[in-house]
Amino acid sequence: MSFPSNFYWGGATAANQLEGAWNVDGKGIACPDICTGGSAKVSKRITPVLEEGTFYPSHEAIDHYHRYKEDIALFAQMGFKMYRFSISWTRIFPNGDESKPNEKGLQFYDHLIDECLKYGIEPMITISHYEVPFGLTKKFNSWTNRQMIDFYLNYCKAIFTRYKGKVKYWLTFNEINSATMPAGGFLNQGILNEIKTMDFLDQVDIPQNRFQGLHHQFVASALAVQMAHEIDKNYQVGCMNIMATSYPLTCKPSDAIENLKHNQVMNWFCSDVQCRGKYPSYIWRYFKENNIQIQMEESDKDILKNGCVDFYTCSYYMSNCQTSNPDKKINGEGNLIHGVNNPYLKASDWGWQIDPEGLRFSLNEIYDRYQLPVFVVENGLGAYDKVEEDGSIQDDYRIDYLRLHIEQMHEAILDGVDLKGYTPWGCIDLVSASTGEMRKRYGFIYVDKYDDGTGDLSRHKKKSFDWYKKVIESNGECL
């Protein structure tokens, strides 16, 4: 078993989940900076006014801002060929609506990118990963407002011009399709329909705002693709989706239809727009039935048509099932997604059902649909890790999870999928996006940081570190 010789093995992170230094060197407040910690059982809170004495996980996170050299050196030791990270929008434009970028913020990413290049690691940059400037939320209710397109493009222009010649791969929005679900309204889009303290899981949801916000994001993404190509013809710009693989719970035809409808909105709508350059026909019925009316400008159709992405990327963690039976309990937890548990699968400690074959299944569907190069830019097991007395971390469960998924990616390649790379999530332990926890760890590298804010931030290799190093060295043969 071996992967294509130029396959991009690597890892992925997001600025707000690892950098810390939340108010250093001119950085402004981003939406995650006003989120408290939480857990699998207790929702994190959104506090528009920061509370004294409350712990905010993003404020220090794992202090990658000051330790990036050590971290990139560890990634290089594992043999990374690619590192997917995000730029923090508020380091570049602290409130989001300034006209000139913050030089110190730009410098940080000069250094980070140079550090990657020093080791021959190809950067893949997410432009907006779950951290809209809070200033834009307060003033404009973020992506509900069309002016966001200009703020976003201003930001794109600053980074596209600055990092020209050093970076090739860009992603416009992390998990853009999360905004088809209530949880994505604030997380992805920075939309807060009421500015008040509340549980993250208790947001006031206005679907009209989310879908109008998505339209603005589609237009912004399409214009960013065009801008990128004009600035540097070598730039490749991709979309990024949560691939929430879903099956009919039974072979009853109405379960299949329920699943089809779910998939259309959840898994295909956003990538259909971004890869095919127009709204898919099935979405109009969904809009009608949900009383959603999208305001579009005359030129939007052409913008979308001329701003198709160059490649497709997704995160993949789990799958679940859909049914037409209203008596079936929605008991399947997932990456922001909920469905019915699949009786054939086991779940992680956070209730996400583990389904390696689902990855092969979805990669086939994706490639068949778009015929674009594909990257899996997130995948991994969030788990409790225990430090043994001798200091080692024996994370065999993580190795098993990753091995099974890598095997299925290989099957997908044999099936004909043009899979270009794999960057497992949280290659170094970082703050969980959904719960704000540190104890939900994904990394090959353990970070001494805990949910009460304690820890000396030291880095330690887990058993999976050496395992992944071998996987990369052998180009996927040694699993």
Burial class (CB in 10 A: 0-12, 13-18, 19+), 251: exposed
Start-to-end CA distance of the chain, whole Å, equals 10
Find the part of the chain contacting ligand BG6 (CB under 6 A) among 57-65, 230-238, 300-308, 433-441: 433-441
**Residue 407 annotated to the active site:** no
**Residue 98 annotated to the active site:** no
Q: Is 432 in the site for ligand BG6 (CB under 6 A)?
A: yes
Q: Is 174 in the site for ligand BG6 (CB under 6 A)?
A: yes
Q: Is 434 in the site for ligand BG6 (CB under 6 A)?
A: yes
Please report, as residue ranges, which positions from 316 to 375 form the binding site for ligand BG6 (by CB under 6 A).
335
Shortest distance (Å) from residue 432 CB to ligand BG6: 3
Site string for ligand BG6, 11-30 (x = CB under 6 A): ---x--x-------------
DSSP conformational letter for 9 = E
Q: Which of 440, 441, 449, 469 binds ligand BG6 (CB under 6 A)?
A: 440
Structural element, H or E, at residue 58: helix 57-60
Q: Which of 56, 68, 130, 134 binds ligand BG6 (CB under 6 A)?
A: 130
For the four alpha carbons of 181, 182, 187 and 190, in that order, the dihedral sign comes to positive
Shortest distance (Å) from residue 335 CB to ligand BG6: 5
Shortest distance (Å) from residue 350 CB to ligand BG6: 7
Q: Which is nearer to ligand BG6, 41 or 233 (CB)?
A: 41
- C-alpha distances out from residue 185 to 141, 180, 221, 268, Å: 11, 8, 17, 18
Q: Which is nearer to ligand BG6, 284 or 450 (CB)?
A: 450
Find the part of the chain contacting ligand BG6 (CB under 6 A) among 359-367, 411-419, 425-433, 460-468: 425-433
- C-alpha distances out from residue 251 to 254, 263, 322, 354, 442, Å: 8, 16, 11, 21, 35
Q: Which of 19, 33, 175, 385 binds ligand BG6 (CB under 6 A)?
A: 175
Q: Which two tokens mark 425?
A: 């999530």
For the four alpha carbons of 47, 48, 54 and 60, in that order, the dihedral sign comes to positive
User: Of the residues 131, 258, 378, 411, which is catalytic?
Assistant: 378
Q: Is 172 in the site for ligand BG6 (CB under 6 A)?
A: no
Find the part of the chain contacting ligand BG6 (CB under 6 A) among 49-57, 115-123, 427-435, 465-473: 427-435
Contact 141, 186 (CB under 8 A): no
Find the part of the chain contacting ligand BG6 (CB under 6 A) among 64-72, 356-364, 407-415, 432-440: 432-440
Structural element, H or E, at residue 230: helix 207-231
User: Of the residues 19, 60, 131, 175, which is catalytic?
Assistant: 175
Q: Is 64 in the site for ligand BG6 (CB under 6 A)?
A: no
Q: Which is nearer to ligand BG6, 264 or 335 (CB)?
A: 335
Q: Is 378 in the site for ligand BG6 (CB under 6 A)?
A: yes
Q: Which is nearer to ligand BG6, 12 or 121 (CB)?
A: 12
Q: Which of 425, 446, 465, 467 binds ligand BG6 (CB under 6 A)?
A: 425
Burial class (CB in 10 A: 0-12, 13-18, 19+), 322: buried
Dihedrals φ, ψ of 333, to 5°? -80, 165
Measure the CA–CA gap between 241 and 224, rounded to whole angstroms: 17
Shortest distance (Å) from residue 58 CB to ligand BG6: 12
Measure the CA–CA gap between 189 and 221, rounded to whole angstroms: 13
Q: Is 315 in the site for ligand BG6 (CB under 6 A)?
A: yes
- Residue 325: what residue type? N
Find the part of the chain contacting ligand BG6 (CB under 6 A) among 24-32, 113-121, 426-434, 448-456: 426-434
Q: Which is nearer to ligand BG6, 173 or 268 (CB)?
A: 173
Shortest distance (Å) from residue 245 CB to ligand BG6: 14
- Residue 266: what residue type? M
Shortest distance (Å) from residue 188 CB to ligand BG6: 9
- C-alpha distances out from residue 322 to 240, 259, 366, 372, Å: 23, 5, 19, 28
Shortest distance (Å) from residue 290 CB to ligand BG6: 24
What residues contact 218, with CB distance under 8 A and at least 6 apart? Answer: 270, 273, 274, 304
Measure the CA–CA gap between 404 and 309, rounded to whole angstroms: 29
Spacing of C-alpha 344 from chain mean position: 27
Query: CA dihedral defined by 457, 463, 466, 470, rounded to 10 degrees?
Result: -140
Shortest distance (Å) from residue 13 CB to ligand BG6: 9
Give ∠ CA 317-319-322 in degrees, rounded to 5: 155
Q: Is 58 in the site for ligand BG6 (CB under 6 A)?
A: no
Shortest distance (Å) from residue 301 CB to ligand BG6: 30
Q: Which is nearer to ligand BG6, 130 or 140 (CB)?
A: 130
Interacting residues with ligand BG6 (CB under 6 A): 14, 17, 130, 174-175, 315, 335, 378, 382, 425, 432-435, 440
Q: Which residues are catalytic?
A: 175, 378
